[in-house]
Amino acid sequence: MRVSDARRGLHRLLLLAAGLLAAVSAPAQIIGRAPLRLVNGIDVAELDDMVLLTMVFNCSMRFLSNLPASEGKEVRIQLGPLADCGLSPLALVATETPPLLGGAGIVSGARLEGIAPGQVTLTLAFARPEQFVIVPGADPRALRLRIINHARRKTRVLVGQPDELESFAINLDSEPRAFDPASVELARQRLRAPIYVSELTVNGEKWYRLRAGPIEDRKQAERLLERALSDYPRAWLAIADDAETTRGAAPGTQHEVLPPVAKIGSDPPLPAEELKQLLVQARAELQKHDYPAAITTLTRLQRQPEFPDRSSAQELLGLARERSGELAHAKAEYEEYLRRYPQGEAAERVALRLRTLRAAEARARTGREAPGTKRGWEVSGDWSQLFRYDGSRISNGAPPPNTAANVPLAAQTQSENAIFNDLGLLARRRGVSYDFIARLSAGYDRSFQSSATALGNPTRVSVASLEVLDRPLGLLARVGRQVSVEDGILGTFDGLFLSWNFKSAWSLNAAAGYPVEQLILAPQTRERFETLALHYAAPGRHWDGSIFAATEQFQGFKDRRAVGLEGRWLVSTASLVGVVDYDTFYHSLNTASFIGTVMLPARWSLSFDAERRNSPVLTTRNALIGQPVTDLTGLQQAFTIDQIYQLAHDRTPVTQNFSFTANKPLGQRFQFTAIVTATQTGATPASGGVAAVPATGNLLTYQVQLFGNSLWQADDFNVLTLTHGNTEVGRIDSAALTSRFPLGGAWRLGPRFTYDRLTELAGGSTQTTYIPSALLDWQRGRWLLQLDTGAQLGSRAAFLQLANGTFVQTQNTTRYYVSLSYRFTFQ
């Protein structure tokens, strides 16, 4: 969700003002009032060759580092909340479990917590070890993570080599004697899946195999295998190895007359070299989606007398027919293959393809699922509720000697008492040629506070979209509320996204719609944008890239006009990701961001992040920052258009951030990490009645972390973090210890303790804070239950003047919170 630009600027001004005026007058120091939630949600999109996680934040975040650097079953992403998050350097950040949309079976959980001052750590857990890379975007309110080499093997016909074609079955049990019908029926009841028995002769002995399937989707097959193991411990995943029970028509189908196929030998023989070239040409035509040309070339080969690769040509012809939607012809070609090459290398997979096509046809005709297939909508999602209570208490110390003693009593403030409800739904229907996906991520927040600063009871919709993929055409269309941070798109919008994979490695993307400022509002048409992007990602290459152009209008004003490029280079030992976004209207470099990782000998890994950003992104709306009006039409009453554009420029400081991370495992249980970060935010001039904001200067932070696993017991996790750094309000020194260890069963306990000391720039006063907290969670199957409780005990030693004019020398703050949440995942 975007906080309005005016509020973002106001937060930053208040933060600086608090530091500068501390020596003269001291408002009650409530340490660190964070926004309600920092993470809006995490959208997981499964693409053909990778999985893309888009993490959307409710305010701007600076990427610091991620551990491990590129591979693991879990990744901890360290982020630095920027000024619009409204967090002071010593802010206590309550644990969050961000809603996940999609990614069932890939991402098993997400958690955000504060471990070090001025930082939050977003931990993503995967169902299995994955390779990944962090990809920055133009907008610091979102971050992407790509899971690479996550093969999405599909049994539908894809353009490519025939050996990519697979169907799956779960071999539940194998015996040298036949299974009785009761066993078959029991398996059907247990697994609620089609069950069949196939036979195989091994070393002269006949074996019988009790199987569930066939199943087109590997992920679906793996899920079924997991379910089957409890009753069938010998179960294993069979891949395209079963022919006997897949040949012939599916039950319930009528005998059909198929189109004739070209007769073998009806053309005079061609030289071997020309046959080879024709086959290569046919494969290339399939790769380019030019099915009519491929069919022509392959039919020509089919009319040849027998030659060594004729069986491959026959199979490819069936593929080409199927991809072009000519299913009857496809079946005829597959039948021809099985007739002519019953022991061929591809016989089993062709038989499976034929069975799948027939079953799909039977379902279409009868309206019922035919044995051997499972189609229809797959629905997954989660429901979660989080209750949080957060309260603070300020008590003042004794006044200095010889001063008037009129110290106010301790004051209690309740800053949060609310329940957050989140629902995520993903419905998917995979077809032979079309995929449909519907997504919904919405929430309702209920506040029990009655104060003016209470949350309210908003209903928010983060994502609500419908998507259709036309596989033969390579065309994807998505309409509705959606989120994207590539191609120059700045986050959530209501509109249309189109992607056309017109050639194997090339895609053209276009998007248009209305940017979403607040998730609680319906589509706002006073802003609109359009983008166009060209992507290149050739299979097997180590790099890919894209260029884009984007325009945005706000209330008829030109808001943004940008061009840019993104590039990714990934090899086994190094990666480099870069994003450049240049505004051609304002002639300003919005974003130049480069993140790289390199693995060195002796198990060292080094990562760097170099960013230069307009913060916030330079748009004409920035002219509203610090102004008493909320739209540009109102601003036009006092300023000309050119002055408004200049105000936008003036209100947009440049942030530069450089971080360098070195990481090395120490033995098997320890890992050492050192992070150095340098941040600088530029000054903004005084203009339009808004005061100048000075530059922050170079703020350096040094941090070392020591991770230890299985120190006290198996599977425990511990991290010691030491931080020394400079912030806008002063110097921070911090030590934090975080642990998580299993209690037994599915329970885990995570105690944490942090000690912070802030020496303020203005006045030199010191603030000492102790933050004990504990997270207790229980996770089993589809349920996650969490209890998070903590306190923040702060003491400030300074010569302070209170609102009533009284002076005190110390002020103590006690803050405590408790949050209880649960999540239920279904699929």
Partner 1 sequence: MSPVHIKPAGHWPLALLLTCTPLVCGAGKPPPQEYLDPETAATVTIVGEPLVFARSRIDLAANSRDYVTAAAAAVDRSGRISYVLVVYFWSTVDPRIHTDPLPDLEPLVLQVDDRRIEFSSRERSPHDAGIGVPVHPPPGRAVTPVVYHTDLGTLRSLAECRRLTLVAETPVTTITYELWEDQRAALRAFVRQMSGGP
The stretch among 231-239, 391-399, 444-452, 472-480 that binds partner 1 (CB under 8 A) is 231-239
Q: Which string of DSSP letters, residue by residue, matches 254-284? A: PP-PPPP-PPTT-SPPPPHHHHHHHHHHHHH
Quick check: 370 and 363 in contact, CB under 8 A? yes
Binder among 177, 181, 189, 233 for partner 1 (CB under 8 A): 233
Binding mask 578-607 for partner 1 (x = CB under 8 A): -------------------------x----
Amino acid in the structure at residue 142: A
Amino acid in the structure at residue 586: Y
- Asked if residue 237 binds partner 1 (CB under 8 A), the reply is yes
Nearest to 473 by CA among 327, 353, 360, 323: 323
H/E/C letters for each residue in 476-491? EEEEEEEEECCCCCCE
**Helices (H) then strands (E): counts for the chain:** 10, 34
Shortest reach from residue 158's CB to partner 1, in Å? 25
- Asked if residue 72 binds partner 1 (CB under 8 A), the reply is yes
The stretch among 2-10, 201-209, 370-378, 610-618 that binds partner 1 (CB under 8 A) is 201-209
- Closest to partner 1 by CB, 219 vs 731, is 219
Shortest reach from residue 72's CB to partner 1, in Å? 6
Contacts of 634 (CB under 8 A, 6+ apart): none
Binding mask 148-177 for partner 1 (x = CB under 8 A): -----------------------x--xx--
Shortest reach from residue 236's CB to partner 1, in Å? 5
Give me the sign of the Cα torsion angle 502, 317, 313, 169.
Answer: positive
- Closest to partner 1 by CB, 67 vs 648, is 67
Binder among 27, 49, 73, 686 for partner 1 (CB under 8 A): 73
Binder among 10, 16, 200, 284 for partner 1 (CB under 8 A): 200
Quick check: 718 and 742 in contact, CB under 8 A? no
Q: Restricting to residues 373-412, which ones interact with partner 1 according to CB under 8 A?
A: none
Rounded Cα gap, residues 684 and 692, in angstroms? 5
The stretch among 196-204, 423-431, 498-506, 606-614 that binds partner 1 (CB under 8 A) is 196-204
Query: Could you tell me the two tokens for 530?
Result: 């359009």
Cis amide prior to 601 (ω within 30 degrees): no
- Closest to partner 1 by CB, 241 vs 326, is 241
Question: Strand pairing of 574-583 and 588-599?
Answer: antiparallel
For residue 572, which phi and psi values (nearest 5 degrees)?
-65, -25
Rounded Cα gap, residues 235 and 228, in angstroms? 7
Binder among 709, 779, 801, 806 for partner 1 (CB under 8 A): 709
Residue 325, by phi and psi: left (phi above 0), alpha (psi -120 to 50) or beta?
A: left
Q: Restricting to residues 50-69, which ones interact with partner 1 according to CB under 8 A?
A: 68
Quick check: 677 and 80 in contact, CB under 8 A? yes
Residue count, binding to partner 1 (CB under 8 A)? 25
Q: Restricting to residues 104-143, which ones interact with partner 1 according to CB under 8 A?
A: 129
- Closest to partner 1 by CB, 171 vs 304, is 171
Q: Which string of DSSP letters, residue by residue, matches 176-234? A: SSPPPHHHHHHHHHHH-S-EEEEEEEETTEEEEEEEEEEESBHHHHHHHHHHHTTT-TT
Binding mask 656-675 for partner 1 (x = CB under 8 A): ---------x-xxx-x----
Q: Restricting to residues 776-795, which ones interact with partner 1 according to CB under 8 A?
A: none
- Secondary structure of residue 335 in the 3-state scheme: helix
- Closest to partner 1 by CB, 399 vs 742, is 742
Rounded Cα gap, residues 523 and 516, in angstroms? 7
Using CB under 8 A, list all residues that contact partner 1: 68, 71-73, 129, 171, 174-175, 200, 202-203, 207, 209, 229, 233-234, 236-237, 603, 665, 667-669, 671, 709
